[in-house]
Structure 1
Amino acid sequence: MNVVNDDGKPSIFISHTEADGAIANAVSEAVTALFGAGAVSVVYSTSRELGGGVQFGENWFQWITTQVRTATVTLVLLTPTSVHKPWVLWEAGAVYGAALAEPQARLRSVRPIAFHIGMNDIPSPLLNSHAHIARGDTFSDVRLLLNEFIEQFSSDPASTIRAAQNVERAVTHWLNTVAEALRTAPLTPTEPIVNEWCERLDALATSDRASEVRQVHEWLLVAFGQKEGIEERPIDIRLHRRLAQLYMATKRYQEAAEQFEMARRLSPRDLFVLRSLGQAYIDCQNYESAEKILNSIAELSPKAFVKNVECAALKGRWLREQDRIAEARETYAAAFSANPASYYLADLLGMSELQLGRTEDAARVYRQAMQIIDRLVERNVWVNATAATAAVVSGELNRVVEYLQAVRTHNPTDAEVETIVQGLQRLQRPLNIPPEQIASWRATLQG
């Protein structure tokens, strides 16, 4: 039966993702090679032919609905990219619904075509639809499909003969063009590909090459088909978190925040992502955006700033960097009360007390910090450094050297030694520590 649309010509609607536009072009060119220009109307969203695609300003949803209702045949392109996109499945479902609504259900009008994927990769709604799934990358299946088009679309014996003579050439053009399109197609974020890129980013971190992150980031965008100058789209949360962490390591905090925002778009309720995003905003002194993140955390978990140590530290830092020390102190105190085994919170609370001039309260809190640390089985550079600070503030100067010598056993880097000394120097003025005492502690750290 020769089914035609409103303009009197048979029509083919190609359902595809934007990334598979080159494959849709190849199919359209093959149909033209078969029947001649204009004999069959081929419509798809990325078409550049006049009237062949969605027009600027046109309602996208309405355009799609019209195409799937009026098409003589709909080809659903299933590629390594499209099988991960819900939009193609929606279009296919709309086509099936329209076909079933016809008086003589035209289920044959829906033709899924698979390219470079196995049957196990085909989404179950299509796999279970009883539609014949053709291979768009084999000569025999493409030739069979084009011969079916000839049988369905040719209006007279003469046009049938002409089309039949063009089959071999049309199949060859189809396969060659599709092969090139697939070869140059953007990567799809499948598990093996994402894992490979994660390994590349991890290698930068473990080999102290974080400074190269921008170049690798640019290559990643190229590989996944994202063009320079166009707003970046989320790919996979693992990639964006790693990129953000590398940017943080190189103190490129704005870029880090942008990548954490990508991760947030993929997982908007992930408190770990939100907390890291808030930290990046504070690092680049974007306190307004950081406040919005803090509010989002509070909406998702109202007690996060009391129960969670890291969230409390984040909010306290946000307050402290805006000279709201008393409010930061209240945040740390509430969290420390709920987490009495956290030497980290004790350190933050004790330092806030010291900044507020409450020396005795600071000493009391830091004595608690020392008790917590002394009970720990495993310690690292920063745990022992915190203990040294606690000993200084609580007045147990005889124990400061003990903790600094413990730091020394972990072979701290010069940068770590300098950071610890700077922390001790911040105690110099409020506690009236003589300069020669600081010099002595530095000597202990340096061995």
Structure 2
Amino acid sequence: MKNFVFMCLGGAIAVLAFIVSQAFLLDKTSSSGQVLSQEPLSQEPSVLYWVAPMDANFRRDQPGQSPMGMDLVPVYANASGDTQKGVVEISAAVGNNLGVKSAEVEWTLPELSFISSGQVNYAKESLVHLHARTSGWVEKLHISDMGQRVKKGQALYGIYSLEFIDAQKDYLRALNSHNESLMRAAKNRLQALRVDNKVIEKLKRTKSVSQITTFYAPQDGYIEQLNINEGMYVKPENTLLAIADLNQLTVDVELDHQHAAWLSQFPGQIQWTLSSQLMPTKVWQGKLDYIYPMMNEELRTLRVRLLVDNNDQLLKPNMWLNLKGNITAAEKSLLIPSQALIRTENDTRVVMALGEGRFKSVSVNIGRFFNQNVEILQGLQAGDRIVTSAQFLIDSESNIDSDLQRMEASMIDGSDMDDSGMESHDDH
């Protein structure tokens, strides 16, 4: 009897445990179903294939490494299902690994910078050569050294010449005659002999002929040449001395032949900045004075002459200066970085960044180059973004994708034609 009671009690406990466990499993199943229904799994785009970063032709169906030891990168299928012709999609992580960079197409004024060097020379307008207008002897020399600074009106030398003496006598005779025409003719003769007005006024005042005619400096400057000494016999063809004014100098600069067109088109919009390593804190602004018409055959360079103000007298002839030029065009152009170009034998392309990891290669027509930029004549618009780094890999993918889509389209067209031909044959 006691055994029967224990058996009934054990059976009741087992039944109760089974009921509780079934209720728990049912509640858990319903809860998990609610969670799954509330949070559906998002489907990521599938991977089409894996490609080498540096070789778009090396493809595999699974991850691995390229022959260069680089990890293969995945190429995903277009999740939207409406793949455009030649559009390549790259995830943000892959783009960062490849170092993809982009720049905006800008409508702006082109600028061209260049550097060169040049030699400082005397300005031709500021260099004066003095000659004797007649033969004679240098009786007095008031200057002693080449490079000596002189002031305008300072006495330079005195010459004894019979022609100078005869001209003075003729002027005195004209003064005594009180004949205006004779006085004017005699004075013109003295001026033609480059006799200074000081000498003429003294002659008119003292009525005394000077045996030695003194000549004076026509301008401020430095003695650049000194070819006479006291007692020397001189002739009109001899250069007695030369005076150079250093307030304005010239700089002859050799420029690359590629800048010749720019200089002829935009000469007034060029900034010429000159500097010297001897005076690193000083800069001078040059002014374009002359463009030589001939190019240097050996160096393939074009020479230009610049005018430079030298009021502080820091620059000296025969010094060398560094030049930095900046040319700004008068009209705006569509510009992109020149490193974005993909140039082949028959075509020039760039890779456009369409946004959201999509890229596409487009053909462009280019114009002039401006240092790191290039002018776009056709193919892009202002505001577009183009790839400036890692564009060669994307371009290869875009071209391969375009070729595959063209092949698929031709195959579909061919199959459609075959089907239509079979249907017409069946009708007959």
Normalized against structure 1, the TM-score is what? 0.22
Please identify which structure carries the higher strand content. Answer: 2
Please identify which structure carries the higher helix content. Answer: 1
Normalized against structure 2, the TM-score is what? 0.23
Larger radius of gyration: 2
Structure showing greater relative contact order (alpha-carbon pairs closer than 8 Å, 6 or more residues apart)? 2
